[in-house]
Structure 1
Amino acid sequence: MTSDDLLVRRADKKDIEEIFGLTREFALSFRPQRSAFDAAYPRLLENPDALLLVVTVGGVVRGYLLGFVHLTLFANGHVAWVEEAMTQHGFRRRGLGRALLEEFETWARSRDAGYIALATRRAPEFYQALEYESAGTYYRKVLKTDRPA
């Protein structure tokens, strides 16, 4: 794979099938439901505070990143949050994740975000190589019962 094969861009309507396939590979805590995905997808594309990126290899979507910028009180303005970041199995360790995060960082800076945060238990070496640091513990409380058994 050459760098010419790899392209990061904003997702658009035609990427819906490939991104849905990746969400099914990504999701461990929830099983993506097609109807909910189809309802959320166009809203995310239109949301000015959201950025949905894809990375393609040879024109095929092999990864995506969904992130947001929002206002805070404690950080004196905007912060950015990576909600989902996924590269397809078999295409990892080829620079796709790095390319997605670097594009998101550029967007977050353009939105005057003070920092970027994300929650993950996977790939700490990857995030540390990109100068992300561990900054706390992530807690959650599941409010929906549509999780897999």
Structure 2
Amino acid sequence: MRRAEEHDIEEIFALAREFALSFRPQRAAFDAAFPRLLENPDALILVAVVDGVVRGYLLGFVHLTLFANGHVAWVEEAMTQHGFRRRGLGRRLLEEFGAWAHTRDAGYIALATRRAQEFYQALEYESSGTYYRKVLKPDR
């Protein structure tokens, strides 16, 4: 596990395209966002590398809240490439993110998913509510 670097852009883009169900990542938007996320002190992109190839990534944030008396962490995207699952990569990505979130004084980590409930439960995540969204830009 390591922090993503600029040269990881192609491999992460390919994984993001595999990850996305509701949206299709557009290259120009991805290329604009990636370096900004790398520079954002409240964001973390981690990569899982196997034999020199990025096989998974996690994008998460720490942000300030009012209700939780401080910072919380949010996993926006967590993806392990098909064929490399069940090898501990996802677990290690989440553990590394958790360690980073802890250094940022986050009170907890949250995420939204419709998949892999058993995986998250095995890592001691618990169901905590229902996720709602409203698409603002239908052209995505």
How far off is 1:59 after superposition? Answer: 1.1
Q: Which residue of 1 aligns with 2:81?
A: 88
Are 2:89 and 1:121 equivalent residues in the alignment?
A: no
The amino acid of 2:82's aligned partner reads H
Is 1:60 paired with 2:32? no
Task: Give the aligned residue type for 1:49.
Answer: D
Q: TM-score, normalised by structure 1?
A: 0.93
Q: Could you say what the CA RMSD is over the residues aligned between the two structures, in angstroms?
A: 0.5
Shift of 1:146: 2.4
Matched, 1:131 2:130: no
Task: Measure, in 2, the Cα distance between the counterparts of 1:145 and 1:134.
Answer: 29
Equivalent position amino acid for 1:92 in 2? R
Identity %: 86
Which residue matches 2:40?
A: 47
Residue by residue, what CA displacement relative to the aligned partner does 1:2-61 show, whole Å, maximum 9, x if unpaired?
A: xxxxxx000000000000000000001001000000000000000000000000001110
Q: What is the distance in 2 between the residues matched to 1:135 and 1:10? A: 28
Of residues 31, 34, 50, the one that matches 2:27 is 34
Q: Is the CA contact (8 Å cut-off) linking 1:30 and 1:146 kept in structure 2?
A: no
Alignment length (residue pairs): 140
Counterpart CA distance in 2 for 1:146 and 1:79 is: 31
TM-score between both structures, scaled by the size of structure 2: 0.99
